[in-house]
Structure 1
Amino acid sequence: MSDDVSERPRWLVGFLFVAVFLYLWISVRPFENLATASGGSNALNQLVGLAITGVLLLFAVHYQLLGLLLKPRLPIFLLFGWMLIASVLGSQPGTAIQRLVFTGLLCLITSIIAVLPSDRQQFARLLAIASSVLLPVCYAGVIFLPARSIHQAYDLSEPALAGDWRGVFNHKNAAAPAMIMLVFFGLYLRGSWSKWKGTIITLLAFVFLMKTNGKTAAMLLPVTLMLSWWLERHPRQVLLVVGGLIGLLNLFAVGSTFSSSIRDVVESLGVDATFTGRTDIWELSFVTFFHSPIFGQGFQSFWNTTALLDQFAVHETWAVGAAHAHNGYIESLLNGGLPAFVLTCIWLVILPARDLTKSIQNGAAPDLNRLFARMWIFALLSACLESNFFTGTGPIWSSMLIAIYCMHHQAHDQLCEANVASVSSKQRYPERHITHV
């Protein structure tokens, strides 16, 4: 068994990276027909996920990559361990545990994807290939299969979205952030792969983003770009700025649910103080949270369940029909109470902020720092209005995980060439490795 990443078959790495990338982003059901009730694709999706996990694990074992997976492990294991306890104590332990296991497998898959490429050049090329597959397919769907790529007035839910592009995704709210990520990829590829090809990817993704009519995602794009630019020059402020902005957004958004003063401030800014009806959902979420503030409801065991209908009559609030909390931080409270919320913030916010600070200060691959920072910041900010955490497959969650893993590797695993010689034999990776350049 080889311990040299240079001996990995490049064709195999390329195939695995692109195939798994597409699976993570679009799952097994592209171009879903929203005019009919969805079928049972979850079982197939989970079976494919299980098969992919097995293949990637074999690859990781053969090329001795296990030491790099699921880093940092302590907060991840503590969080999933606690949510397992909360799920066992919840109203639907079987379903909750099944969903938790699948989510854990996807966390493992993304940690392997983060270390698959042997160098930055290969990473950039594979990212370009994946983007160059996804974008044309989305545009081809709009042109040749509009009923499955554009929201229609006869869709079973949300007919008001008619005309908004969604491409291979099942909703414009999945397509819009996916295009944001592709914009980030294109900007990165302009400097690391090809200036004009990266520009084409950026422009195509931006045009598609505008056609999705995803206002929240579009609004967060310039905010994310400006934040990443600022933090690159002031790395000590990463946690303060990012954490402070998350807190401020949640204060104005969720706070408008319970405070008339905050609601007046939001309205004075010309913003819908209900955030398109989300305040009703957040009010219901907090009422539920206070029923069980320590253990929550169990992992993904509240929305669309009998537990919800047992607590609230349908006529009390329309929010009982919501699919999720429309806020990743509130969703963590429902999944596993306060402990899950704290551990989620430690894993997804605090530790990545520390890693990014350290990585920037040590001068580790500035172009990669910029890319991963943008992916991470956008995911955190968009989670203030959407439930983007622990979603299984999907562009935001999978991209965020890859960014977090890579930032951790850059900050902790031999950032500079001078440190390579000090690594133990089991953790020695050539300077060509993507996250160690």
Structure 2
Amino acid sequence: MTSAAYRETSAPDAVRARVGAFLFMAMFLFLWVSITPYVDLTGEAILDPSAGNSNRLNQILALLLSAGILGYGLLHPMRDIILQPRLLLAILCFWFLLVSLISAHPMLGIKGIVLSTMMTVNASIYLLLPASERHFAKMLGIGTLIMLAFAYYGILFKPTLAIHQASELREPMNAGLWRGHFPHKNSAASAMVLAAFFGLFVASAWSRMAGLTIFVLSFLFLVNTGGKTSTAMLPAILVLGWLFEKMRPLRALIVIGGVGLFNLFAVGSAVFRPLGEFISGLGIDATFTNRSDIWRFAFSALAERPLTGYGFRAFWQTEELVYSGGSVETWAVAAANGHNSYLDIALTTGFPGLLLTLIWVVLLPLRDISRLASDRENAPLTRLYVRIWLYTIFHAGLETLFFEGGSFVWFTFVFALYGLHLQSSAVVAQGAVPENRKRVAHA
């Protein structure tokens, strides 16, 4: 569907289209390729919890991109959708800030909240940058092909930096697994799952050849990352998305019940021994790749502060935790995160923070999908957003994904949330857009 705002080829509209395309591609490549691809994981600094993963150039570019996108959004006719739903997000931000201010590391929380807010604002404007659905598919396809070129270039010409090595200090057991220009095989695997979804959409909305190429290259790379969870989730989400699309009365059960059961079997198996034994009896790894120790430790810590948690981003990798001597009892004190988004939000912001998060990322998208017009429920654009949404909320049961300020997964997830909201309130752009329905469905 084409936005009526771009039907006329006037000079201001042409300039806006070019600026939007530039900002779209710049943000995509900034997140999916980064300015520091092919990270060396053999250096000792990788083990230092206080070592920053950012640099000054990265910060400057992030601020410039954010400022550019914000300026574009504020000048756009649909600027009222930026950072919606504002009341819920304001309450959520206030709670995150409150629990951070009373924590032992308030500055970590404040920095994390600022970064997450910037990313959410960027994502809420991102879908306003394309001129049409086809334009969106074209830029998404080109950006994904560039990302895949970086990934495969590393495998072919920089194998020591693009394939995990036995000389790596943190996880030498990953030797031989592909990671491309990403810092870890798991992030590479997540990227390839999302890229596969992009490929299917591109094949439907822009170029069948480009879309199928993206899908095949993504799947091949995904298999070689050794990411068993992501590899299994790609076909699982495609099937689940099909069921979700066809079985309208069961959508809430599929999502709420499915996410609940997934977390019960994953995290519950670590906390409740009988459940863990039952899952092991089914031939499933009840440790979920050694995550069970982390989850048990996280649950014991959460039991001490269930209401306010430990402060946003103020628990994992803090110096007092890593160097507390608790490693004698469990190695989990050195974990980078809790490997479960829902548990991590509860651990750092308490159960009120978890409830607010669930309302935003699970319940509101369900409401938006229930409001979709019948001619838009099965549209390729809606299907793309639903697949991204389903993948993220299920994968969040095994990885920390929510509110990660510099994460391409979180950014993609948030713009999918806004995409579902736009689809639910969109109008077909045939001629002029009615004054009382200014939202369009192209993105």
TM-score normalised by L of structure 2: 0.92
Q: Does 1:348 align with 2:361?
A: yes
Match of 1:67 in 2: 80
Deviation at 1:313, TM superposition (A): 2.2
Return the alpha-carbon distance in structure 2 between the equivalents of residues 64 and 329 of structure 1: 36
Residues 185 and 227 in structure 2, CA contact (< 8 A), matched pair in contact too: yes
Residues 177 and 396 in structure 1, CA contact (< 8 A), matched pair in contact too: yes
Match of 1:134 in 2: 147
Match of 1:358 in 2: 371
> Cα 1:261–1:199, aligned 2, differ >3 Å: closer, same or farther?
same
Match of 1:42 in 2: 54
Deviation at 1:418, TM superposition (A): 8.4
Deviation at 1:100, TM superposition (A): 1.3
Map residues 85-234 of structure 1 onto 2, 5 A cutoff.
Answer: 85-234=98-247
Match of 2:28 in 1: 21
Residues 376 and 382 in structure 2, CA contact (< 8 A), matched pair in contact too: no
Return the alpha-carbon distance in structure 2 between the equivalents of residues 335 and 360 of structure 1: 38
Residues 228 and 373 in structure 1, CA contact (< 8 A), matched pair in contact too: yes
Q: What amino acid does structure 2 have at the position aligned with 1:230?
A: L
Q: Does 1:428 align with 2:431?
A: no
- Give the root-mean-square deviation of aligned CA atoms: 2.1
Return the alpha-carbon distance in structure 2 between the equivalents of residues 380 and 419 of structure 1: 38
Alignment size in residue pairs: 428
Residues 20 and 72 in structure 2, CA contact (< 8 A), matched pair in contact too: no
Q: Does 1:284 align with 2:297?
A: yes
Q: What amino acid does structure 1 have at the position aligned with 2:317?
A: N
Deviation at 1:345, TM superposition (A): 0.6
Deviation at 1:143, TM superposition (A): 0.4
Deviation at 1:132, TM superposition (A): 1.4
Deviation at 1:102, TM superposition (A): 1.0
Secondary structure of 1:330 counterpart: helix
1:266 to 266, 270, 279: 279
Deviation at 1:428, TM superposition (A): 2.7
Return the alpha-carbon distance in structure 2 between the equivalents of residues 165 and 89 of structure 1: 42
Return the alpha-carbon distance in structure 2 between the equivalents of residues 213 and 360 of structure 1: 40
Residues 239 and 354 in structure 1, CA contact (< 8 A), matched pair in contact too: no
TM-score normalised by L of structure 1: 0.93
What does the per-residue CA deviation read over 1:81-126, in whole Å, with 9 as the maximum and x for residues that have no partner?
1101111011100121012111110111111112211210110110
Deviation at 1:35, TM superposition (A): 1.0
Return the alpha-carbon distance in structure 1 between the equivalents of residues 378 and 76 of structure 2: 24
Return the alpha-carbon distance in structure 2 between the equivalents of residues 291 and 25 of structure 1: 38
Deviation at 1:225, TM superposition (A): 0.3
> Cα 1:41–1:385, aligned 2, differ >3 Å: closer, same or farther?
closer
Return the alpha-carbon distance in structure 2 between the equivalents of residues 277 and 15 of structure 1: 43
Q: Does 1:242 align with 2:255?
A: yes
Deviation at 1:311, TM superposition (A): 7.0
Deviation at 1:260, TM superposition (A): 2.1
Q: Does 1:77 align with 2:90?
A: yes
1:11 to 7, 18, 21: 18
Secondary structure of 1:174 counterpart: helix
Q: Which runs of 5+ in 1 are unaligned?
A: none
Return the alpha-carbon distance in structure 2 between the equivalents of residues 187 and 20 of structure 1: 21
More helix per residue: 1 or 2? Answer: 1
Residues 241 and 386 in structure 2, CA contact (< 8 A), matched pair in contact too: yes
Residues 163 and 180 in structure 2, CA contact (< 8 A), matched pair in contact too: yes
Residues 299 and 335 in structure 1, CA contact (< 8 A), matched pair in contact too: yes
> Cα 1:72–1:361, aligned 2, differ >3 Å: closer, same or farther?
farther
Return the alpha-carbon distance in structure 2 between the equivalents of residues 235 and 268 of structure 1: 34
Q: Indicate the percent of aligned positions where both proteins have the same amino acid.
A: 36
Return the alpha-carbon distance in structure 2 between the equivalents of residues 73 and 5 of structure 1: 28
The range that moved more, 319-328 or 70-79, is 70-79
> Cα 1:43–1:239, aligned 2, differ >3 Å: closer, same or farther?
farther
Return the alpha-carbon distance in structure 1 between the equivalents of residues 209 and 344 of structure 2: 41
Return the alpha-carbon distance in structure 2 between the equivalents of residues 419 and 283 of structure 1: 59
Return the alpha-carbon distance in structure 1 between the equivalents of residues 70 and 37 of structure 2: 26
> Cα 1:219–1:92, aligned 2, differ >3 Å: closer, same or farther?
same
Return the alpha-carbon distance in structure 2 between the equivalents of residues 309 and 195 of structure 1: 50
Deviation at 1:29, TM superposition (A): 2.1
> Cα 1:109–1:318, aligned 2, differ >3 Å: closer, same or farther?
same
